[in-house]
Amino acid sequence: MLIFNCGVNECKTCLQILHSPTLFSHISFTTQQPERTESVIIMHWNSRFIEINTSKSLLNIRDVPGATQFLTLSYTIFSTTLYVLRRSTYNKLEKSDDNLEFSSIVSPILQLIPATLLKYPYSIVLSNLIDVKIWKAIANLVFLLIGGSHIERSWNSSKELLKFVLIIGSLTNMLTVTITATLSLFFPAIDLNSPLDGNYTMIIGFPIILKQLYPETTIFRLKNLGYFSKNFRFKLLPIFIMFILTFSQLFVFHHFAQLLSIWITFFSSWTYLRFYQVLQINFENTGDCLLGDASDTFQLIYFFPDLIKPVLRPIFDFTYNILSVRLKIVRSFEIDDIDRGNSVAEHRGAKKITNTTEERRKQLALQILQERMVEP
């Protein structure tokens, strides 16, 4: 069954379609008043074994916000330009070299190549908008059109979306190149003349944002399959994407530098959203700015499966204490910050994590004590 929900009561378009004699029995329309100010049309596709939710951004290009349109257009133009340049070069060189492979043709102007970065520094930015693999180009376009539209509307800021993709993505690329170049001193197998994929911000960063904004929203649901009957929500999307990308680099492509880039992008995106992003929110009609996301549900540990949480928790806690208390690279959250972050997260639909308040207060008290001890 296909169900269309229009955010406008007594919508004339919906009523006309609903009473149309050509309407099939498996399509129905319902009207409801949305909680947000903008109208939202959600399409649900039902079958015996699966239920899938899609968005109106998939159906109407005119509903795509400005920054998302700009990024999508730029991504398409630069990726197409890169392909044309590589194909043209390949066609010229293959006549003199029968063993030439198309994958060996690169463009240092657009692609992130550590060895040529000083000569072409703008590739740090441009590499955020190109792809050479078809499957990844398709995935990024889907995340841009659908995920980018929802994120831009929820943030109510085109500037913030551009900042996340281009500035945070470029800083992540710089960090990736620096670490890769440093490791190449100890591991000669790392080739600095091979291009790195500088465009993981959308395919990795957007799922993290969607988990933050719509944690309990169902993407699809498997039904009537016994043990395999599950709801796949946005809160599972980041670790699912990371598993697929990590598995493919370890066992299919065998590319260590790309694997490094993937995980640097993951931690960089989360760190920015957790500690540094300044976002104006209309929660409880205050119109205040929110610095970072101090909610319990957005802790790094809750991105990973329960099976490995006991191993990761002390590592994450130790790292956080080093960065916040000793180095002061990230700020220490106060109790008010966490309570406010939890309120915003619950407003977004996140489930409240129980039995953490007392533990959190003890941890914060310990951090304050450590800060006072290290002060001269």
What span, in angstroms and rounded, lies between the C-alpha atoms of 352 and 342? 8
- Do 239 and 354 lie in one domain? The reply is no
Contact assessment for residue 217 and residue 228, using Cβ atoms and an 8 Å cutoff: no
Residue 372 is predicted with a pLDDT of 62
Q: How far is CA 205 from CA 180, 219, 259, 273, in A?
A: 21, 17, 15, 10
In a domain, 287, yes or no: no
- DSSP of 50-115, one letter per residue? EEEEEEGGGT-GGGS-HHHHHHHHHHHHHHHHHHHHHHHHHHHHTTT-TT--GGG---TTTSB-GG
Contact assessment for residue 129 and residue 75, using Cβ atoms and an 8 Å cutoff: yes
Residue 280 is predicted with a pLDDT of 79
Give me the CATH number covering residue 108: 1.20.1540
Contact assessment for residue 156 and residue 215, using Cβ atoms and an 8 Å cutoff: no
Residue 60 is predicted with a pLDDT of 59
In a domain, 55, yes or no: no
- Do 81 and 36 lie in one domain? The reply is no
How many domains does one find in the chain?
3
Helix pair angle (237-248, 256-271), 10° resolution: 160
- Do 83 and 126 lie in one domain? The reply is yes
pLDDT along the chain (376 residues), means of 10: 41 45 39 37 65 60 85 96 95 87 92 95 96 93 90 92 96 95 90 91 95 85 71 87 94 87 95 92 67 92 93 93 88 86 87 64 64 62
CA-wise closest residue to 368 among 323, 322, 332, 319: 332
Report the amino acid identity of residue 190.
I
- Do 260 and 148 lie in one domain? The reply is yes
- Do 28 and 141 lie in one domain? The reply is no
Chain Cα centroid distance, residue 150: 12
In a domain, 282, yes or no: no
Hey, CA dihedral for 70, 73, 77, 79, is it positive or negative? positive
Backbone phi and psi for residue 285, each to the nearest 5 degrees, phi listed first: 60, 30
In a domain, 52, yes or no: no
In a domain, 230, yes or no: yes
In a domain, 300, yes or no: yes
- Do 264 and 301 lie in one domain? The reply is no
In a domain, 304, yes or no: yes
Domain ranges, residue 367: 293-376
CA-wise closest residue to 298 among 327, 273, 266: 273
- Do 131 and 259 lie in one domain? The reply is yes
Chain Cα centroid distance, residue 190: 27
Residue 36 is predicted with a pLDDT of 39
- Do 98 and 173 lie in one domain? The reply is yes
- Do 198 and 250 lie in one domain? The reply is yes
Burial class (CB in 10 A: 0-12, 13-18, 19+), 225: exposed
DSSP-H helix ranges across the chain: 12-18, 66-93, 123-126, 134-142, 149-155, 158-162, 169-184, 206-213, 237-248, 256-271, 309-321, 335-347, 357-374
- Do 124 and 38 lie in one domain? The reply is no
Residue 22 is predicted with a pLDDT of 43
Contact assessment for residue 180 and residue 196, using Cβ atoms and an 8 Å cutoff: yes
Residue 336 is predicted with a pLDDT of 86
Tokens of 182: 């440093």
Residue 334 is predicted with a pLDDT of 85
- Answer with the one of 233, 250, 276 that is the final residue of a domain: 276
Residue 119 is predicted with a pLDDT of 95
What span, in angstroms and rounded, lies between the C-alpha atoms of 165 and 212? 17
